[in-house]
Amino acid sequence: MQEAAKKQAEKTPAPTLTRSQQKNVDILNAAEQVFIEKGFKGTSMDEIARVAQVSKRTVYNHFETKEALFHQILMSCCEELFFSNDLDYPADMPIESQLYDFLQHEWDFFASDRITKLTRIVIGEYVETPGFANMLINEFEERETSIYRWLRAQVDNGRLEKINFEFAERYLIESIKAHAHYPRIYDQTTPEGDDRDYIVREIIALFLGRYATSS
């Protein structure tokens, strides 16, 4: 399923960006690179402009503050994981296989160097400035994620019992983060190979053992 989607994406030509849109992308890419290398406080708009090869005025034309720029980077990460992965599987595909594909995708995302480093920045800034992540959290909570929509569809199709969608969503996401993400934050190793596969399948077994219908 994922391979077919990948091949289809490769066939679809990327949309042509306007000059302004391309500069926006260049600024975001440069900013993420600098944030990861130097942290939030160590990053300046001057440095971002230098890496993006644009003027500082251009950076400010696209993003009013360094906070706004970092917020956009984090929102792009959330978009990639929680909102763009529509979990659109064939009706005859076993629910176990659907969940397995989704949780493997989550694991890869949360175990990545990029997300690990960005999360460390958020944690460090949140400790010193508790309101640092509030805008992101509020914006995230107002949107309906792909897994939320998938859970609701499975209930409507009679594959899952009626559930508290917020709780079920958090259970699946946090169960993966506990093994794939949090250890990386503290420079610990994460399970790989058979150990990783065992954990994912156990999360699914526990979830479906509680919520799967008999039909």
214 shares its domain with 173:
yes
Indicate if the pLDDT at residue 210 is higher than 90. Answer: yes
139 shares its domain with 41:
no
Q: Give the per-residue pLDDT at 5.
A: 44
Burial class (CB in 10 A: 0-12, 13-18, 19+), 75: middle
Question: How many domains does the chain fold into?
Answer: 2
79 shares its domain with 58:
no
CB 189, CB 158: distance < 8 Å? no
- Other C-beta atoms lying within 10 Å of the C-beta of residue 152: 16
The contacts of residue 181 (CB under 8 Å, 6+ apart) are 110, 111, 115, 116, 119
Q: Where residue 146 sits, what CATH number does that domain have? A: 1.10.357.10
> Does 103 fall in a domain?
yes
Q: Cα angle at 104 between 203 and 1, to 5 degrees? A: 120
The maximal CA–CA distance of the chain, rounded, in angstroms, is 62
DSSP 3-state of 212? strand
CB 4, CB 39: distance < 8 Å? no
Q: Where residue 41 sits, what CATH number does that domain have? A: 1.10.10.60
CB 111, CB 177: distance < 8 Å? no
Would you put residue 193 in left (φ > 0), alpha (ψ -120 to 50) or beta? left
57 shares its domain with 143:
no
Indicate if the pLDDT at residue 1 is higher than 60. Answer: no
> Does 13 fall in a domain?
no
> Does 2 fall in a domain?
no
Which whole number is the average pLDDT over 107-113? 89
> Does 198 fall in a domain?
yes
Instruction: Decide: pTM greater than 0.75.
Output: no
At 148-176, the pLDDT tens digits run: 888 998 999 899 999 999 999 999 999 99
At 58-84, the pLDDT tens digits run: 999 998 888 888 888 777 776 766 655
Structural domain including 146 reads: 74-83+91-215
111 shares its domain with 160:
yes
- Which of the residue ranges 9-13, 102-106, 136-140 would you say has the lowest mean pLDDT? 9-13
57 shares its domain with 79:
no
60 shares its domain with 124:
no
Over the Cα atoms of the chain, what is R_g? 20
Indicate if the pLDDT at residue 3 is higher than 50. Answer: no
Indicate if the pLDDT at residue 147 is higher than 80. Answer: yes
Residue 160 dihedral angles phi and psi, to the nearest 5°: -120, 150
> Does 155 fall in a domain?
yes
111 shares its domain with 214:
yes
Q: Cα angle at 36 between 30 and 39, to 5 degrees? A: 110
At 168-207, the pLDDT tens digits run: 999 999 999 999 999 998 889 999 999 999 999 999 999 9
> Does 169 fall in a domain?
yes
